[in-house]
Amino acid sequence: MAPNAAVELKKITKRFPGIVANDSIDFKLEKGSVHALLGENGAGKSTLMNILFGLYQPDEGSIEIDGKEVAINGPNEAIGYGIGMVHQHFKLVSPFTVAENIILGMEPKRGGRIDTRSAVRKVQALSEQYGLHVDPQAKIAEISVGMQQRVEILKTLYRGANILIFDEPTAVLTPQEISELLDIMKRLVAEGKSIILITHKLKEIMQIADTVTVIRRGKAIDTCPVSGTNPDELAEKMVGRSVNFSVEKQPAKPGPVVLKVDKLVSRNKDGVQALNEISFEIRAGEIVGIAGVDGNGQTELIEAISGLRKADSGSIRLNGQELTSLTPRQISEAGLSHIPEDRHKHGLVLDFTMSENMVLQTYFHPEFQKRGLLNYKAIDRKAETLIAEFDVRTPDIHTPARALSGGNQQKAIIAREIDKNPDLLIAAQPIRGLDIGAIEFVHKQLIAHRDRGKAVLLVSFELDEILNVADRIAVIYEGRIIGEVYPHETNHQELGLMMAGSDKRSKSR
Out of ligand ATP, Mg ion, none, what residue 42 binds, judged by CB under 5 to 8 A for its kind, is: ligand ATP
Instruction: Choose the binding region for ligand ATP from 38-46, 311-319, 381-389, 416-424 (rule: CB under 6 A).
Output: 38-46
Q: Which does 47 bind (CB under 5 to 8 A by kind): Mg ion, ligand ATP, none?
A: ligand ATP
Query: 452 exposed, middle or buried (CB, 10 Å; 0-12, 13-18, 19+)?
Result: exposed
By CB under 6 A, tell whether 290 contacts ligand ATP. no
Rg of the chain taking only CA atoms, in angstroms: 24
Give the contacts of 326 (CB within 8 A, at least 6 positions apart).
Answer: 307, 334
Residue 26 CB neighbours (<10 A): 13
- 92 vs 404, which CB is nearer to ligand ATP? 404
CA dist., res. 340 & res. 426, Å (int) = 8
For ligand ATP, give the closer residue by CB, 201 or 338. 201
Does residue 407 touch ligand ATP according to CB under 6 A? yes
Give the pairing of strands 313-318 and 257-267. antiparallel
Residue of minimal CB distance from Mg ion? 46
Build a one-symbol-per-residue string for 359-398: x at contacts with ligand ATP by CB under 6 A, - elsewhere: ----------------------------------xx----
Least distance CB 196 / Mg ion (angstroms) = 13
Segment near ligand ATP (CB under 6 A); pick from 13-21, 114-122, 282-290, 326-334 = 13-21
Q: Which is nearer to Mg ion, 46 or 199 (CB)?
A: 46
By CB under 6 A, name the one of 34, 44, 97, 180 that touches ligand ATP: 44
- Please pick, from the candidates 292, 406, 479, 483, the single residue that binds ligand ATP as defined by CB under 6 A: 406
Asked if 213 touches ligand ATP (CB under 6 A), the answer is: no
Report helix, strand or coil for 211. Answer: strand
The residue (of 45 and 159) whose beta carbon lies closer to ligand ATP is: 45
What's the farthest any 2 CA atoms get from each other in the chain?
Answer: 75
> Rounded to the nearest whole angstrom, what is the least distance from the CB of residue 286 to Mg ion in the complex?
34
From CA 190, how far away is CA 197, in angstroms rounded? 16
Contact call for residues 99 and 116 (beta carbons, < 8 A): yes
Residue 377: left if φ>0, alpha if ψ -120 to 50, beta else—which one?
Answer: alpha
Residues that bind Mg ion (CB under 5 A): 46, 405-406
Among 52, 301, 404, 427, binds ligand ATP (CB under 6 A): 404
Site for ligand ATP contains 352 (CB under 6 A)? no
CB of 45 to Mg ion, least distance (A): 5
- Planar angle of CA 198, 204, 205, nearest 5 degrees: 65
Count CB atoms within 10 A of the CB of residue 433. Answer: 20
List, as one string, the DSSP characters of 21-77: EEEEEEEEEETT-EEEEEE-TTSSHHHHHHHHTTSS--SEEEEEETTEEE---SHHH
Whether the Cβ atoms of residue 476 and residue 295 lie closer than 8 Å to each other: no
Q: Which is nearer to ligand ATP, 160 or 395 (CB)?
A: 395
Judged by CB under 6 A, which of 33, 47, 306, 332 binds ligand ATP?
Answer: 47
* 129, amino acid identity: Q
427 scored as a contact of ligand ATP (CB under 6 A)? no
Residue from 405, 429, 445, 490 binding ligand ATP (CB under 6 A)? 405
Q: Are 484 and 508 in contact (CB under 8 A)?
A: yes
Contact residues: ligand ATP, CB under 6 A:
16, 19, 21, 39, 41-47, 393-394, 403-408, 435
